[in-house]
Each structure stands twice: as C-alpha cells, then as structure tokens.
Homo-oligomer: A and B are copies of this chain.
C-alpha cells in the first residue's frame, strides 16, 4: 500500500495525494474529499522513511543522559519530551553510563536525528568544540568539566544554590558544617563545593578540610562518606550534601550508628527528588527546577533547528530551598564558638 495505490484508487495523481496529506490548501475541496476517502478505505499510512528522505529531516532529536534511573535526569528528560512532542518530534534516548559515547555527532551527521540535548559532557571545551562544532546541540547540565561558551546551555547557579543551603544552616546556629560531595571533575560538583565554602566565609566560619568528603553522587557513596566522617574524632553538627542521594545514603549510615537526624546532626540535601519529602525526617533540600531545565533546553534546540536566533546562549534557572524536617536550630550554648 503506497501513495500511488491511493492515487489510482482516488483517480488523481500522487502529487495530489501528497498535497492533501500535508494539508496543502491548493486543492479543490471535492478532490480533497476523494483522496481522504481513498486513504480511509485503503487504510493507508504514509511511509515515514520515504517522507524523511524527501524532506531530509527525521523529526527526531537525541537526548543523551548518564542514566535514566537518576531522578534528576528523568525529570529533565520529561521536560524535554513535554515540549518536543508538542512539535511533532520523537526523542531517541541514549544512556551512556559515563562511558565515553562518541556516537552523538555521528548520529546528527548521518541524519538519524536533527539535533541533541546532552545531560552530561565530561570533556574539555576544546575537545567538545572539535566534536560538536556547528552541530545543533544544547547542554542541559552542569556535568561539564568546564563551561562551554560556544554551545547553548541551561543550568542553575550551583554556587548560589549551595550558599543558600549553608546560609540556612548557619542561620540555625550551626558552626561546624560538613560537606558531602562528588569528586567528579564537573562544574556542578566544583561549584557546589565553592558555594559551600563561600557560605561559610559569609558567616565568618572557617573552611575545615577534614569536614569535606568527596565520592560519587550515589546513595552508596553517601553511605560510605558518612561512615568515613563517623570514624573521625570531630563530628559536625550539620551536613550539606550536594545531592539528595548523598544525603539519603549518609542518613542511612548515621542512623545505623545511632546518630539522630536532626537531633544530633542536621542535614540539607540537593535536588529535591520525589522521595525526599517522604523520608523520616523529611529532607530539607535545594530544589533544582529539573523539568524546566529540560523544557528550556528543548525550546532552545527547537529554536536552533528552526534557524531562529537564541535570546540567550546561557540560561540560568533559579534554585530554591525547600525547608522540611531534617535540620534543627542550635541552642546558643551548644555553639562551639561565638558567631562573629
């Protein structure tokens, strides 16, 4: 069943069938009806492969994500899908598991997809530019070794976000605040640490390197890092964890050792993944607007594919502190040292 069969059946040319199907206005009403009737009766479905070749477009975009099981990534993905489906695009999703996946530029060049949104790109700006030069790509992430000026991006201000967490803890009277982060060589990891240090400084607190613990972003890593912390003599009264997963893993380890949250140690997470609200105690955390990050990145990619100009190359969305029950206010006398 192809277009020529429909044409024959309707007594018109394939050109006319094609016009009717694409909604071309230059077709007589009567002709249009004949064609539609033929399509209906023959149960005809146009061949997308042929259409793609003729139009030289696939109506597909690529989304590259380290892993979908991560709640932040799946939310960003969701945001992307929200907007591109609306515009008739399908999304091909690739999980990299941090393997070096160099197939992305190829999938654009070979026309499998029209463009790509990356949720991670752990390479130098130079390497990135070389690989993606001139290709329609948008970064929806802070999983970057360094800022990539040449490519549009969406992210949050991680420094500011981390500062908010520390402000909050410091304002509750905490003077000894540990940091749990990732040693991944990414902007996100570095900036959250930077924000942590800034936050301490802004409250006149000193950075104590023995209170900084770095591993991966995972639950497991949070668990291990907290155990490491517990084996040191000096316990903090509060923890800022650079991801909710780290926070949850840490709480698990602390609880196992009889450390109570928030009575003994307060903790603030980062991301506001769904489960955070349902932990006991419910986790105070920094919310990333993940869905909007995805939506904005998709908007930008579609704008590029449409050969329009971007309003902004680098968009920063706002983070927000979500206060729940994992932190407590220190009593004045408990404070290890005087506030400045």
Contacts and interface: CB of A to CB of B under 8 A. Distances in A.
A280 B255 CA distance: 7
A279 interface: yes
Contact of A278 (B49, B74, B111, B249): B249
Nearest to A248: B278
A77 to B, nearest CB: 6
A161 to B, nearest CB: 21
A263 interface: no
Contact of A48 (B45, B85, B110): B110
A53 B93 CA distance: 22
Interface stretch (A8-16, A22-30, A63-71): A63-71
In the complex, the count of this chain's copies comes to 2
A46 interface: yes
Main secondary structure of the interface of A (DSSP, over half): helix
Interface string A32-76: 000000000000011111101100101010000001110100110
Given A251-B280, A252-B277, A252-B278, 11 more contacts: A47-B110, A60-B92, A68-B68, A69-B274, A81-B93, A81-B95, A90-B94, A219-B278, A248-B278, A252-B279, A252-B280
